[in-house]
Amino acid sequence: MTSRSKDAIVIGGGIAGASIAFRLAEKGLSVTLLEKGRVGEQASGRAGGGVRQQNRHPAELPLAMEAIKIWSRMEEELECDVGYRRNGNIRLLFTSEELEGHSRIVSRERKAGLPVEILTADEIRRRIPCISDEVELLGGKYCPSDGTANPLLVVKAICRSARRKGVEIRENEPVQKVKFGNGKVEAIVTGTAEYRADVYVNAAGSWAQGLCRLAGLNFPQKVFRAPILLTEKLPPLIGPFVSFEDLYLRQAIEGNIHLGPRSVYNSSENSFDQSSQLAEFAHSGRLVPKIFPILNQVTIIRAFAGLIHKTPDEIPILDRAPTLSNFFLAAGFSGHGFCLGPAVGKVMAEWIADGRSSIELGGLKWTRFESIYDHVSAGL
């Protein structure tokens, strides 16, 4: 078996892992990125495409706000248009309870420096004229600096730039074993090589928990399937990213509308089912045409699904392992990591290469789940 050595090994070729590898290489580290399949073709490539700051948990809002700065210069930095457009994000509000609750969030977010506002129903309809006049809409929560991007393009563009910085990207190479002992990871073993490094980063998404267990660690995670419908190409109808109840709509630059209903829990612990089933779209199929009548006769051309992994509090873990000094975890994004990925790359690279992050990550610690934290003391 071949033995390979680098300064850092990153496991997981989604937007977080690719961004971490890219930024570590920028700081002069030699890096290998290991991906069990193809980069950008799991959750990050099957995401809803929202690049959102509003309605974030306070612990991750600073990360989202930093991410927007990176997204804003991404086309120039990556030398590729990844479909990023700052076209706003609107949460439609239909009940007084929703309006009251989101008004409180506006106050909190403004104090954090995020420009958000509550729009009236008339203001919403001026921005999205295809909303039905029959719908009793009270208003909407609006963040003009939010936007959208094309999930199919982003990670592959980051990986191309990472390669130019010297990152070795190994696709179709799943991790089979983690050698650890004496308080650190000693090697990562795949079917073709043994990888040794000073630092290891687990950014394996829905597979991150399994990789942690190979290292004698655990964190609480549940895997969900996130289905999406894609329509035929349509004239421009919906500018901003729109959400309501547990649904969202996004019209791509090409004209297709992406509709995402609520995610479905994969109840089997080892289930990574990414199939899409017609029944999962029944609720959205009834509700969406009532709000957007113009979509009543639209042709659906595709349905697909991705996997998301949720922690109990639905915010990620960005932390060093409590008992392994050179093993970091960037996972648990709970279905809203697409926006965060570029900022995750920045802060994790700062922590690993410089010793500290420019953004406070205290609310994203691994040990907040200490009551169910499990450590296996013996090496594998």
Does residue 380 form part of some domain?
no
Does residue 253 form part of some domain?
yes
In this structure, the answer to whether residues 62 and 21 fall within a common structural domain is yes
Using CB atoms within 10 Å of the CB of residue 189, give its burial: 0 to 12 exposed, 13 to 18 middle, 19+ buried.
middle
Calculate mean pLDDT across residues 224-233. Answer: 94
* Residue 377: predicted pLDDT: 33
In this structure, the answer to whether residues 56 and 176 fall within a common structural domain is yes
Q: For 299, which DSSP code?
A: P
Domain CATH for 263 = 3.30.9.10
The one-letter amino acid code at 345 reads G
Q: Which of 364, 269, 339, 41 has its CA nearest to residue 172? A: 41
- The C-alpha atoms of residue 342 and residue 66 are separated, in whole angstroms, by 9
* N-term to C-term CA, the chain: 18
In this structure, the answer to whether residues 64 and 163 fall within a common structural domain is yes
Calculate mean pLDDT across residues 351-365. Answer: 96
In this structure, the answer to whether residues 233 and 306 fall within a common structural domain is yes
Does residue 163 form part of some domain?
yes
Identify the residue with better confidence: 246 or 349. Answer: 349
Identify the residue with better confidence: 60 or 263. Answer: 60
202, 217, 252 from 377: Cα distances, Å: 19, 9, 49
Domain span at residue 193? 2-76+151-220+313-372
Calculate mean pLDDT across residues 113-126. Answer: 97
Q: For 277, which DSSP code?
A: -
Does residue 17 form part of some domain?
yes
Half-sphere exposure of 8 (CA within 13 A, CB side): 30
Does residue 265 form part of some domain?
yes
* Residue 124: predicted pLDDT: 97
Is the CB of residue 221 less than 8 Å from the CB of residue 309?
yes
pLDDT for 213-228, tens place per residue?
999 999 999 999 999 9
Residue 29: pLDDT above 60? yes
pTM reported for the whole predicted model: 0.95
CB atoms within 10 A of CB 337: 26
In this structure, the answer to whether residues 160 and 72 fall within a common structural domain is yes
Residue 269: pLDDT above 80? no
Does residue 7 form part of some domain?
yes
Percent of the chain with pLDDT over 90: 88
Does residue 378 form part of some domain?
no
* Residue 267: predicted pLDDT: 63
Of 310, 333, 349, the position where a domain reaches its end is 310
CA 281 to chain centre: 22
In this structure, the answer to whether residues 128 and 180 fall within a common structural domain is no
Domain CATH for 22 = 3.50.50.60
Beta strands, E only, 254-341 = 256-260, 264-265, 300-310, 317-320, 327-331
Q: Which of 89, 142, 86 has its CA nearest to residue 116? A: 142
In this structure, the answer to whether residues 72 and 156 fall within a common structural domain is yes
The count of structural domains within the chain is 2
Is the CB of residue 164 less than 8 Å from the CB of residue 274?
no
- The C-alpha atoms of residue 223 and residue 212 are separated, in whole angstroms, by 15
148, 233, 236 from 229: Cα distances, Å: 17, 13, 18
In this structure, the answer to whether residues 251 and 363 fall within a common structural domain is no
Of 263, 284, 310, the position where a domain reaches its end is 310
Q: For 192, which DSSP code?
A: S
82, 120, 301, 357, 375 from 237: Cα distances, Å: 21, 20, 18, 41, 52
Of 289, 310, 331, the position where a domain reaches its end is 310
- The C-alpha atoms of residue 350 and residue 330 are separated, in whole angstroms, by 14
In this structure, the answer to whether residues 242 and 121 fall within a common structural domain is yes
Name the token pair of 30. 């030699």
In this structure, the answer to whether residues 158 and 295 fall within a common structural domain is no
Calculate mean pLDDT across residues 278-304. Answer: 90
Does residue 196 form part of some domain?
yes
- The C-alpha atoms of residue 66 and residue 145 are separated, in whole angstroms, by 12
In this structure, the answer to whether residues 303 and 156 fall within a common structural domain is no
CB atoms within 10 A of CB 332: 25
In this structure, the answer to whether residues 176 and 267 fall within a common structural domain is no
- The C-alpha atoms of residue 22 and residue 33 are separated, in whole angstroms, by 9
